[in-house]
Structure 1
Amino acid sequence: MSEIRADGTNVRTAHQDLHSEQGALRGEHPGRSRNPVIKVADLAWLEFEKPDLDRAEVFARDFGFGIAARTERELWLRGTFAGSPCMVIRRGRTSRFIGPAFRAAERADLDRLARATGSAVRDADVPGGGKVVDLLDPSGFPVRVVHCGEQLPALPEQQPLLLNFGTDHRRTNATQRPPREPSRIQRLGHVVLETRVFARALDWYLDTLGMIVSDFLFLDGQRDRGPTMAFIRCDQGSRAVDHHTLAMHLGPGTGYVHSAYQVTDLDSIAVGGEYLKERGYKRSWGIGRHIQGSQLFDYWRDPDHFMLEHFADGDLFSCDVEPGWAPMSTSGLAQWGPPATRDFLGASPSPQRVRDVIEALRGDNEMDPARLFGLLKAANS
């Protein structure tokens, strides 16, 4: 099924079980900007601060990162794919997420972005050098847009296993014995953020960085108030890209939820999980397969309680796939796998969470009692 846009382009409306049971209703958010400032090409890396870089490096190696660079004050982590690093951890007084860095498609995009936002283009403090524009999104997250000079070379890959399917016997006279070792991270896939100003933040990423929505989620009985979660991808035209590079959801807090890193296949996820479990790390949720994005997933906590995901086999969408719309629910998070845990959902009560709720309900944001009740209902549905 397709339709013709006003500009003459043919658009696949994509709601015959492609990725959602339904699409937008008349007047709902289109999921893209008419005239964005630039169109970022991808997520470059994530920035954190932690007081103990030695402990951070031990977990990073166990989780499957390579080390791109290490100084007394910085730890740069990478995957096996050529390109930019996945993460930088800087020494700080507390463990905290700083913000994401997105990759500009062209160097000239930084000049255009700087002019439009009243910012400056400066040298990037990244291995290999480059240029960066520093921004602040409506949630208060520092957001960098970078154009790197020197790219990291590719590293040896963890090869996918050769599988037999029914009468298709590709492996004979050979056994399957994947080595018990860390999953080898290939690349950074996406980051998920919680915000009290979801609608404003969503429009900012679409208008400023040219990202487009793959799927919207809405609260039961509140669709007329707009979505409360969006899975957002980069717009590279006809080139298919990850179903989501950024996901955001409305909540009482403002902060990092998790980040996801691609590995080779299901065996890499499973064996890497066994490796992490043997070393005493805590699994948050997994193994399973998501609905929005379709990824195979496995979620873990690092020693500072940050959540990181191993994933494989995610959906890839080109620009002609329109947003899907679906109700927000815990049961709608996975096609198969164990039930989502309270740890993954952030549903365990804590003094900080109580303070977040009180502050959100008193503040100038998009949280109100109806939204809060709807989120609690979604977490238990």
Structure 2
Amino acid sequence: MAAPPTDSFTEFQTNLTQTKAQSTTTNGNTVSRGPSPNRGASVPDNEAIGPESTTQQKWLTEHGIDKSKWVKLKRLNHMRYQHEDLNVITTFLKDFGVKVVKKTETERWYAGYGPDQYVYYARQGPRKFLGGVFEVDSREDLEKLVRDHADTLQTKGIEEMTTAPGGGSIVTILDPEGFPVNFVHGQSQRAPQQMPEKLVVNDESTKPRARQFQRFSPGPAAVHKLGHFGLVSAKFDVLREWYTTHFNIVPSDMLYIDLPNGGRKEVAMFAHLDLGQDLVDHHSLFLATLTPDSSIPEPHVHHCSFEVHDFDTQALGHQWLAEKGYQNVWGVGRHILGSQIFDYWWDTSKFMVEHYADGDLVNEDTAVGYGPAGHEGLAVWGPDVPQEFLH
């Protein structure tokens, strides 16, 4: 028997649970009704998050954060890495879905089809993570970074990016764990690029795709933009405080473990950029606690993630990378927090990179969610989580 229509996802879940609990008997023996069919729904943010949550403003107040002291970040701009062989990593990145827009003997810049001049920068040298890059609101923000973080400043003040596509200025500092964090301003945007065509999809009741057939071409999953990156730290509490105190970075979701004394310890944060009422990605930054069983015993970058057009694009990109012999980490599947369809790969320098599609959007009215940490909560469908992803 189908569940009656409801206006509330919570009510639907309650009805479904009650229906599954009902049974009939034959000669005193319980007769199972069988499993209920799966269901997907686009649920309002705060309803989906549930009661174990707090408002963003309350979270900021409880943590003593003064928004007037923030350096205002506008968006995530690109990633920076150092690779031993630029030709080898370039071949991988082309197969991953970006293209070279400029190169020198020791540097390369790679773009997607979005408005960014480039989404990935590679430099020749021993394998090294060079940090994520945020675009700031003004040059005054760069000047403030130089003043306030002089003790960890890695650039010679504000440096002009004279060789980079789009120009602009950059400042690099270190966070308390020693990860480089980069900030740019004044970079021009590219001319609009060709966007992929949206597929028209037929379902069981609405069939707008009349006499139009779905056809696809094999190839890399073209990257649109950089979505987020994640760091694994031995100083999780320190990093959480540092990023949320100095910048307009606020949590979307916090994960915790239960302690033997009945308390809780927060061990991971999915964080977005607070741009007020403007909608932004569910997370631009992910922080996680370094665990004793980690396969990488020291703090490290976990992965960086790039947006692609849709699920078919992602599946075709997965097939392309697999046929080229690259090493898949985990995917394709769908996350719970952030909702993204994910696909993780090792690049040729053993850095993890991700394709994602269909991510959640949030703003200042979206509540901060809390939930238990555990691999069983990482995906609603997809392959089992491999141990190497939990490094």
Fold conserved (TM > 0.5)? yes
Residue of 158, 170, 176 corresponding to 2:196: 158
SS at match of 1:233: strand
**Cα distance in structure 1, aligned partners of 2:127 and 2:197:** 34
Change (3 A) 1:272 1:15: closer
Residue of 274, 287, 295 corresponding to 1:235: 274
User: Aligned letter for 2:284?
Assistant: T
Contact kept, 8 Å, 2:46 with 2:367, in 1: the verdict is: no
Change (3 A) 1:20 1:52: farther
2:302 pairs with 1:257: yes
Flag as ranges the 4+ runs of structure 1 deviating above 6 A: none
Matches within 5 A, 1:49-88: 49-88=82-121
| Partner in structure 1 of residue 346 of structure 2 | 301
5+ residue gaps, structure 1: 1-13, 347-381
Contact kept, 8 Å, 2:332 with 2:342, in 1: the verdict is: yes
SS at match of 2:87: helix
SS at match of 2:322: helix
Displacement after TM superposition at 1:159 (Å): 2.2
Change (3 A) 1:287 1:62: same
Residue of 30, 44, 52 corresponding to 1:22: 52
2:152 pairs with 1:115: no
**Cα distance in structure 1, aligned partners of 2:250 and 2:171:** 21
Change (3 A) 1:341 1:100: same
SS at match of 1:188: strand
5+ residue gaps, structure 2: 1-43, 292-297
**Cα distance in structure 1, aligned partners of 2:86 and 2:325:** 19
Residue of 233, 242, 253 corresponding to 1:204: 242
**Cα distance in structure 1, aligned partners of 2:207 and 2:370:** 40
**Cα distance in structure 2, aligned partners of 1:242 and 1:186:** 14
| Partner in structure 2 of residue 350 of structure 1 | none
| Bigger mean CA offset, 77-86 vs 292-301 | 77-86
Displacement after TM superposition at 1:129 (Å): 1.4
| Partner in structure 2 of residue 33 of structure 1 | 65
Residue of 325, 328, 336 corresponding to 2:370: 325
| Partner in structure 2 of residue 367 of structure 1 | none
Contact kept, 8 Å, 1:43 with 1:188, in 2: the verdict is: yes
Displacement after TM superposition at 1:161 (Å): 1.9
Displacement after TM superposition at 1:116 (Å): 2.9
Matched-pair identity in % = 33
Displacement after TM superposition at 1:34 (Å): 2.3
Change (3 A) 1:84 1:235: farther
Q: Residue deviations 1:310-344, cap 9 Å, x none?
A: 10110100122231100001010011112111222
Displacement after TM superposition at 1:225 (Å): 4.9
**Cα distance in structure 2, aligned partners of 1:154 and 1:219:** 45
SS at match of 1:41: strand
**Cα distance in structure 1, aligned partners of 2:239 and 2:89:** 30
Displacement after TM superposition at 1:267 (Å): 0.3
Q: TM-score, normalised by structure 1?
A: 0.82
Matches within 5 A, 1:1-381: 17-20=47-50, 22-24=52-54, 30=62, 33-35=65-67, 36-92=69-125, 94-118=126-150, 120-124=157-161, 126-221=164-259, 224-252=263-291, 253-346=298-391
Q: Residue deviations 1:127-186, cap 9 Å, x none?
A: 221112221101101111110332223322232322112221121212212111111100
Q: Residue deviations 1:24-69, cap 9 Å, x none?
A: 59x9785783233312111111111111111111111101012221
User: Aligned letter for 1:58?
Assistant: T
The total of aligned residue pairs comes to 331
User: Aligned letter for 2:49?
Assistant: H
**Cα distance in structure 2, aligned partners of 1:140 and 1:266:** 36
Q: TM-score, normalised by structure 2?
A: 0.80
Change (3 A) 1:24 1:237: closer
User: Aligned letter for 1:75?
Assistant: R
SS at match of 1:202: helix
| Partner in structure 2 of residue 362 of structure 1 | none
* CA RMSD between the two structures: 2.2
**Cα distance in structure 2, aligned partners of 1:259 and 1:269:** 16
